[in-house]
């Protein structure tokens, strides 16, 4: 009997092939995707790259055309999309749109084997209501909001926070791994959203803190890049300072370099802070900095900056157009 020596490069190729095969749970799945915005379009693209068959819907024709060019099938009715999908992922702006979308999508019934995954940021209460509605119709629903921003969506390095049963978590994990690098089971329905709201409240607070510190440093005569390097090698280091710095010229891919266009809008962070405030009120939990952050971003929105990335708070501080 002879032994065959396998080269390291061949072993690596086999390993990568095995990983791709495992990531699709035995083959290509039919996946519906509703909501092709800054995050959703990139997430859907990564599912196509992983070999899945995409069925997509968005009110934006250009967004749909962009995915169609990559091989997705575009639908004009979400109910038809859902009927043709093993999994349906929704990535939508707010409670009202999510609720309306699920009403329309499930109006004609659902396939009992379909799993609906909502990756929007909505209230835990709505998650529980949707879970009951979908379950009563015979299918399954989980919440799986994400963190990592547009860069994470582009690079398939998102963190997914999943609320559902152990079996449901295991059923969706491989699909979510096509879009993210950390898939965490947070507990029962709504716990994914609970984690996301707390995370986004901390994100808003840290962005304001980084903006305030950067502006103060520059006003004292410090070079912005030098101070950013100090922060990012010291105790002040955080995602807002290192990956998404609000000062133009610090992080090449940050919205600050594009006049704060794209990214995560001030309107959306304001919405998330409002949801966090509601949860805090219902649980009698004090959030003094969260409440202040909500007031600050609400002020930015009333100034017409709701469509700008939430790091625009630095620009307003710099221009002394900041008020609470």
Could you list the active site residues?
Answer: 196
What are the φ and ψ backbone dihedral angles of 34, each rounded to 5 degrees?
-115, 115
Distance from chain centroid for Cα 141? 18
Q: Which two tokens stand for residue 86?
A: 């093993």
Distance (Å, whole) CA 142 – CA 56: 19
Choose among 149, 186, 125, 126: nearest CA to 42: 149
- Residue matched to tokens 């190729």: 13
Angle made by CA atoms 155, 203, 181, in degrees to the nearest 5: 30
Angle made by CA atoms 105, 41, 101, in degrees to the nearest 5: 20
Q: Which two tokens stand for residue 85?
A: 């999908």
Q: 188 with 169: CB under 8 angstroms?
A: no
Distance (Å, whole) CA 303 – CA 324: 11
239-266 exposure pattern, b = at least 16 Cβ within 10 A, e = fewer? bbbbebbbbbebbeebbbeeebeebbbb
The upper half-sphere exposure of residue 143, i.e. CA atoms within 13 Å in the direction of its Cβ, equals 30
H or E element at residue 87: strand 87-90
Distance (Å, whole) CA 324 – CA 320: 12
- Residue matched to tokens 């994990």: 173
Choose among 220, 201, 219: nearest CA to 314: 219
Residue 302: C-alpha distances to residues 295, 317, 320 (Å): 11, 16, 16
């Amino acid at each position: 009997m002879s032994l065959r020596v396998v080269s390291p490069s061949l072993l690596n190729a086999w390993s990568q092939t095995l990983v791709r095969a495992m990531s699709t749970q035995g083959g290509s799945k039919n996946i519906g995707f509703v909501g092709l915005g800054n995050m959703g379009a990139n997430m859907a693209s990564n599912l196509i790259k992983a070999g899945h068959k995409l069925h997509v819907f968005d009110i934006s024709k250009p967004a749909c055309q962009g995915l169609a060019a990559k091989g997705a099938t575009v639908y004009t009715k979400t109910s038809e999309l859902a009927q043709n999908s093993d999994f349906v992922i929704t990535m939508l702006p707010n409670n009202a749109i999510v609720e309306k979308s699920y009403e329309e999508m499930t109006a004609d019934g659902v396939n009992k084997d379909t799993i609906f995954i909502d990756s929007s940021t909505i209230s835990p209460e709505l998650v529980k209501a949707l879970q009951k509605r979908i379950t009563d119709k015979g299918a399954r629903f989980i919440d799986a909001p994400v963190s990592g921003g547009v860069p994470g969506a582009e690079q398939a390095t998102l963190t997914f926070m999943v609320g559902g049963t152990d079996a449901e978590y295991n059923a969706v994990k491989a699909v979510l791994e096509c879009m993210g690098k950390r898939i965490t089971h947070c507990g029962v329905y709504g716990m994914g959203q609970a984690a996301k709201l707390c995370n986004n409240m901390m994100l808003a607070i840290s962005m304001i803190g980084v903006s305030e510190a950067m502006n103060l440093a520059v006003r004292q005569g410090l070079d912005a890049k030098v101070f950013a390097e100090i922060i990012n090698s010291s105790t002040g280091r955080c995602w807002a300072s290192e990956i998404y710095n609000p000062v133009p010229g610090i992080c090449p891919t940050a919205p600050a370099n594009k006049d704060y266009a794209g990214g995560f809008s001030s309107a959306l962070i304001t919405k998330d802070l409002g949801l966090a405030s509601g949860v805090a009120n219902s649980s009698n939990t004090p959030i003094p900095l969260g409440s202040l952050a909500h007031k600050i971003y609400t002020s930015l929105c009333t100034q017409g900056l709701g469509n700008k990335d939430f790091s625009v708070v630095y620009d307003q501080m710099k221009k002394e157009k900041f008020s609470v």
